[in-house]
Structure 1
């Protein structure tokens, strides 16, 4: 978990959102995530450009020549708050929404209905200055930042939504001991806390898996599955996984209890703390489940 100076900087950024009128914690995390993602794109682009220059190899970048002004390192120094706001709201944000028009990545799947909600140029420039001052050099620090943001979400919410305390998640994962060959699913994933902790466990206890090309491919593309019916949580969960270094988690909009869910015998490990306060569409619940328990409540 982040502490000290970094935590203070994040709290100040959160306060900018709050005083600017964005007070729903999930909306804050979403908007914070978008800006972090925009900055990360430029950071990654710069690294790859430097590598290609060093090796003397051609590199086709994320930002075409006509979109160089969409890069964080370019627009942050413009000075004119109105111009920066115009570029981000009408240029950069639509650009990142359509980065993967094939919709294959977990993040891009749920960006289609994302909305840029930062209301004023002055607020946006404060946020850019704050985020630009965050030192997030590795996946661990980015992941810890995201965990801290998620800790600000209320423990209990509407329709059974809540965030399972991290120490409970950690204890459960340590008890079940995920292995490099597992296929892990959280059928009611929320912010993907169980999946994140599972990959943390594997990095700590099964680090050799990353030396094996097949297991590494499995880890990044086929190991983690998460389902939810809230598209905001799907976006947040997907970014949470990617900030923790999982390239392509299988994050999907799905009612895990419905008749349409035909994932029988697909997963080797289920990690979940399902919602217990909401209601069910009784008519749509899987007949197999109704044989066990007939209820309209989760």
Structure 2
């Protein structure tokens, strides 16, 4: 999408036609700060959970209009380019019109712009940009009440441009800051976003290739999808390979705000038609179990700790039904992978230690249908400030049973007990694990103070409990199951109570 502007001469011509100055990082940051200050004075916006979505969808429309302008320049003289958006919804037609302000502006946005975007007609039988945009704006609302404040905001955002490679890189800086703000705000809503170093590590170890289909069924703002594109694109040797890659990278997101950001994220990373679907992944995946719908790679951090509706749960086989979303996602992933398919997945400790009923049956299926070759145990605080629940990374391949499971324990930061929001995990924390991994074939692995292996038969004897402590280091409470800790605490309390009774009896006998 942006490729035509990489060449310096073409970029110069485009700038002359668009008459847009380059946007420096400092200038961009100042404009966004100004935009947020404006939004703080509007009575309809209450905190970042309102302001950030408002800013995001307006920036989305500005970015998309600039992309339309670029396409018009590319096709200039051909006469066959038809803009995706109706003329009245183009940014330049309404947002750049200073006469449209006050109540008339609010009326236009609420009664014309957003309804039109929600009902964009499809142009072909194949899913295209109109379908993506229609989904994006199906959940968008304008929460600003003052048309004068909105006009001031539009005038500020009009200074943000997406007309060159340099501007795209500058916008990436802003976009990362927006995602961080969204993550901070959404943490209060129970949504946990995956740190980029964790995403990068999973993608690097799974190592997706050109020609493989890649799915994140809980894609959030598109972190795994973008990292996959950046990982695979250097190996794409032709335009055909790049097109195959973009079509093969797919995501599903349940909530409209992360979905909008995921689409914008992919558009900014040169994907012509983002392959992200808005909907409940568990319903969509269970609704189509055909072999043709299976994928080569799944990389995901599904929501955990939540509950699904009875309607969604009832779509699963009875023996795998549970309210816990993490278990449902694991079951759905097992169905969705092709034979030989690979998965890297974030799971909470609860998925490892639960050893009865449905959880046991799901883990038994995992170890008998797949080679669960590696579990990476993450230190505390990786997902701070959203949760302190210990988390793990599962790596498995479908098509052969597990013979043994390797565990690798990532240590906490040196001199500290855990990671924090202000001092988060870095990719370098995975360096020793990557060196130990053994390459694509996982050759030459050895046990050490961070790595150990357990035969699958022993795991089965334990009731498929995968919450196994590192035998090479002193007892670590961080990754022990609540059941185990509670039993030990009760035993300790009972012992103390028994000693107190003995002491009381002795005192009474001596009176």
TM-score by length of 2: 0.49
Following the alignment from structure 2 to structure 1, what is the Cα–Cα distance between the partners of residues 178 and 194?
A: 14
Q: Which has the higher contact order (CA 8 A, sep 6+)?
A: 1
* Alignment match, 1:73: 92
Partner of 2:246 in structure 1? 220
Say what the alpha-carbon RMSD is for the aligned residues: 3.3
Match of 2:146 among 117, 120, 135: 120
Alignment deviations for residues 73-131 of structure 1 (CA, whole Å, 9 cap, x no partner): 34424345235444444433334333444574333234234323222111211211221
Q: Please say if residues 140 and 256 of structure 2, whose CA atoms lie closer than 8 Å, have aligned partners that are also in contact.
A: no
Task: Report if the CA contact (8 A) 1:107-1:239 is conserved.
Answer: no
- List aligned pairs for 1:10-89, cutoff 5 A: 10-20=32-42, 21-23=44-46, 25-53=48-76, 56-62=77-83, 68=87, 70-75=89-94, 76-82=96-102, 83-89=104-110
CA distance in 2, matches of 1:288, 1:119: 49
Structure 2 Cα separation of the partners of residues 289 and 162 of structure 1: 28
Distance 1:39 1:154, change over 3 A: closer
Measured after TM superposition, the shift of residue 171 of structure 1 is 2.4
Shift of 1:186: 0.8
| Structure with the greater alpha carbon radius of gyration | 2
Please state which structure has a larger fraction of its residues in strand: 2
Q: Does 1:94 align with 2:115?
A: yes
Relative to structure 1, the CA distance from residue 45 to residue 158 in structure 2 (aligned partners, 3 Å threshold; closer, same or farther) is closer
SS for the counterpart of 1:4 is helix
> Could you tell me how far 1:289 is from its partner in structure 2?
7.4
Aligned to 2:287, what secondary structure does the other structure show? coil
Q: CA deviation at 1:191?
A: 1.5
Structure 1 CA distance for aligned equivalents of residues 84 and 275 of structure 2: 26
* CA–CA distance in structure 2, aligned partners of residues 128 and 289 of structure 1: 54
After TM superposition, list the pairs within 5 Å mapping 1:249-268 onto structure 2.
249-252=274-277, 253-256=279-282, 259-262=286-289, 266-268=294-296
Asked if the contact 2:226–2:269 (Cα under 8 Å) also holds between the matched residues in 1, the reply is yes
Unpaired runs of 5+ residues, structure 1, are none
Secondary structure of 1:39's aligned partner: helix
Does the CA contact (< 8 Å) of 1:159 and 1:278 recur in 2? Answer: no
Length-normalised TM-score, structure 1: 0.78
**Match for residue 182 of structure 2?**
153
**Alpha-carbon deviations, 1:115-159, whole Å to 9, x = none?**
232221112112112211224334444444333211102456367
| Mapped partners of 2:148, 2:181: distance in 1 | 24
Deviation track 1:41-100 (CA, whole Å, cap 9, x = no partner) reads 4334433444555xx332454289xx6565433442434523544444443333433344
Measured against aligned partners, the alpha-carbon deviations of 1:194-224 in whole angstroms (never above 9, x if no partner) come to: 1122112223x32x44x232x2222232x12
